[in-house]
Amino acid sequence: MAQVQMPPSRAWKFHLDFEGIGWLTIDVPDAPVNTLSRETLAELNGIVTALEDMQQSGELKGVALLSGKESGFIAGADITEFDEMGDPGVLRAALDRAHALFDRIEALKVPVVAGIHGFCLGGGFELALACHYRVAVNDDKTRLGFPEVNLGMFPGFGGSGRSIRQAGPVDAMQIMLTGKLLRASQARRMGLVDKLVRVRDTLRWEARKAILQGRKSAVAPLAKRAMALGPLRGYVANKMRAEAGKKASLEHYPAPYSLIDLFEAHGNDWRAMKEGEAERFIPLMNSDTSKNLRRVFFLSEGLKKQGVRGKDKAVFRRVHVIGAGVMGGDIAAWCALRGMGVTLQDLDMERIKPALDRAKSLFKKRLRTKTEIDNAVARLEADVTGKGLARADVVIEAVVENLEVKRKIFADAELKTKPGAILATNTSSIELERIAENLTAPGRLIGLHFFNPVAQLPLVEVIRSRFNADADIARGASFALAIGKSPVVVKSAPGFLVNRVLMPYMLGAVQRVEAGANKEQIDAAAVAFGMPMGPIELMDTVGLDVGKSVAEELGNPVPANSQFAKLIADKKLGRKTGQGFYTWTNGKAVKGEVPPHPDLAGLGRELVQPLVNATSVAVAEGVVASDDLADIGVIYGTGFAPFLGGPLQARKDGRA
Ligand code: T1G
């Protein structure tokens, strides 16, 4: 009986062992992660044909599907190919091929077991769900999920149906609508994974056992599936629409609503759900929203390349933060949360204690076990005497915006820190050259400008002065990446990038209110355009006093007879004092009715013009190196409508 020959493949390796188990390993050459490109899927297609023949001939007892890459299983379909599939017919054909292929894998009579470690995302997760049984490594690195919604889409390789079959409608829709990634243990609890192993080395052994025992995954129990039956499905769909509406409007982000429509139509029948995907997936994939979100994905990926890479990769273990105010305390907490040893210095414990308390509540929110929380607390030390300076790899100053105070701190730090330690200021307004000029080595000082709230906003502006060398800035970017932030390098200039573009937009809105415009309408217009929050509410959130000082630093003094100046004089500084342009109750702005307006989004577009103009001037003046960096920097720093791709992309598209 002739052995069935496996077709040649670049990405897949196959080995049939003495027990008749076929070990199918994906390892896409020259790529840090496995993705399902058209070529990789076509190769798999040929392999499945051979498997069908081997099954026919009886030499195949089962198939174990694993990844040969350290980084993980499969990170999804190959996003780099999406722009080439603009023709709906081409895309439909590609989707139909993938569906047919996954259906054939599912139809194999021998057990097909997926062994999952690391990332198992999007199309990769869909392939695993087409297998008969899933074993996953229960460690910190393994993550499973459907991030497609972050790209303006939803699963298109049958995952919308198969995930509902395995986990039931509510859990499955939840992970598809939020894009939230699951730990292996969570996926196990949901029924999306069948078996957990502690380490990757035992994955093969467990997969072998599952094959030899002919294990099959159980579908979701009726109690879970009931949520999609009869009229309940419409009710659940409306609940999901309401939930989605709190985060994203249908107009700007159609994908979650399209998925909910698909669920409302077919959520009780996983095959119909799967079959109904393509019709809705194709217009989403070719939408401007998805094209812009895909560009944002690659721009954010690009930010990961800024640091020092390879063998000279910088290693950071200890951070010393000077100043335990809101920013200093939260920067210290974030660094400790991300695994750094942190010493937090201020004049006395009375000033440090509130920061430690805030840190503990952050740790409780972000960490799972008591041990993890205790370890994070232990990593964050109060340090009134500044003994942490000598051991620090990075020193971050976040004290009051006073030049002389900052100069004194760095003159002292320069003497006490070890050679090679990064000296960084979190100033949001003072030019670096003025802080650094009296230092022995002014090139050691860089800016690391974090944004409030530190735990939510991903951006860190890495500020470059004329004293800095490329290596100084690259190390600063490496540190930002090491603590899970997204660094954008910006030249030391008034307001740097984010404040420089945000302030004209906020002041422009304030002037309209001063001239009689309705603040609720102004804010609603900006949100209708795509901003996360209106400019007046944002001014109150940032604090009118902070807004005034940034405005003046940018050369826009606040008129003394203005309502703005009067509010500040009356200590009505916004959310932090309970009164600003709005009254604030329980941290929320109390807003009146929004008067009707013929074109709210159009008004919103007018409102953001100063921001878009300032962004293009910032690039022209070399404050930031490119339109791409400006777009991703402004999106991450201000939340500017990601579905528009950033202010400059929006202008290029005639949408701002
Ligand atoms: N397609 C193309 N390239 C990808 C990719 C993907 N899916 N995932 C990663 N890369 C590239 C990335 O650009 C970078 O390239 C390199 O791999 C290493 O990544 C039908 C339609 C997996 C968490 O949305 O979130 O499946 O910069 O440095 O930090 O339903 O990459 O080195 O040239 O980021 O460890 C759904 C996207 C696709 C996951 C790894 N999948 N990827 O992060 O490594 S849509 C996603 C990520 C889909 C189907 C639908 C992250 C990561 P380069 P890296 P990392």
Q: Which residues contact 2 (CB under 8 A, 6 or more apart)?
A: none
Which residue has 């769900």 as its token pair?
129
Ligand 1 pocket residues where CB is under 6 Å: 32-33, 35, 71, 75-80, 119, 121-123, 126, 147-148, 151, 153, 155-157, 159, 301, 304
User: Which atom of ligand 1 is found nearest the CA of 143?
Assistant: 23
The pick from 26, 27, 28, 33 for probing ligand 1's pocket by mutation, whose C-beta has the most ligand atoms within 8 angstroms, reads 33
User: Got the DSSP string for 367-395?
Assistant: --SHHHHHHHHHHEEE-TT-GGGGG-SEE
pLDDT digits (tens, 9 = 90+) for 443-496: 999 999 999 889 999 999 999 999 999 999 999 999 999 999 999 999 999 999
pLDDT above 70: residue 2: no
pLDDT above 60: residue 432: yes
pLDDT above 70: residue 633: yes
Q: What positions carry a catalytic annotation?
A: 449
Output the pTM of the full model: 0.94
pLDDT above 70: residue 10: yes
Name the residue with the closest Cα to ligand 1, atom 47: 75
The pLDDT of residue 3: 63
The pLDDT of residue 94: 97
Whose CA is closest to 395, among 431, 359, 363, 419? 419
pLDDT digits (tens, 9 = 90+) for 360-410: 999 999 998 999 999 999 999 999 999 999 999 999 999 999 999 999 999
The pLDDT of residue 309: 66
Beta bridge partners of 116: 136
Whose CA is closest to 80, among 140, 151, 11, 132? 151
The pLDDT of residue 311: 66
Contact 159, 126 (CB under 8 A): yes
Contact 73, 33 (CB under 8 A): no
Q: Within a 10 A sphere around the Cβ of 511, how many other Cβ atoms?
A: 13
Whose CA is closest to 422, among 377, 392, 384? 392
Distance from C-alpha of 43 to C-alpha of 10, rounded to nearest angstrom: 8
The pLDDT of residue 307: 79
CA 443-446-449 angle, to 5 degrees, is 170
pLDDT digits (tens, 9 = 90+) for 291-309: 999 999 999 999 988 877 6
The pLDDT of residue 656: 94
- What's 131-184 look like in SS3? CCEEEEECCCCCEEECHHHHHCCCCCCCHHHHHHHHHCHHHHHHHHHHCCCEEH
What does pLDDT average to over the chain?
A: 96
What's the 296 CA to ligand 1 centre distance in angstroms?
Answer: 12
The pLDDT of residue 452: 86
What's the 364 CA to ligand 1 centre distance in angstroms?
Answer: 29
The pLDDT of residue 313: 74
What's the 141 CA to ligand 1 centre distance in angstroms?
Answer: 15
The pLDDT of residue 444: 95
- 118 phi/psi in degrees, rounded to 5: 65, -145
pLDDT above 90: residue 110: yes
pLDDT above 90: residue 134: yes
pLDDT above 80: residue 262: yes
pLDDT above 60: residue 558: yes
The pLDDT of residue 5: 80
pLDDT digits (tens, 9 = 90+) for 32-51: 999 999 999 999 999 999 99
Q: What is the largest CA-CA distance in the chain?
A: 96
pLDDT above 80: residue 1: no
C-alpha dihedral, 536 to 256 to 98 to 72, nearest 10°: 60
Under DSSP, the state recorded for 192 is S
Percent of the chain with pLDDT over 70: 99
What's the 330 CA to ligand 1 centre distance in angstroms?
Answer: 30
Whose CA is closest to 74, among 166, 139, 23, 136? 136
The pick from 69, 78, 79 for probing ligand 1's pocket by mutation, whose C-beta has the most ligand atoms within 8 angstroms, reads 79
Q: Which residues contact 197 (CB under 8 A, 6 or more apart)?
A: 135, 136, 137, 138, 203, 206
Distance from C-alpha of 120 to C-alpha of 145, rounded to nearest angstrom: 7
Distance from C-alpha of 169 to C-alpha of 167, rounded to nearest angstrom: 7
Give the CA radius of gyration of the chain: 27
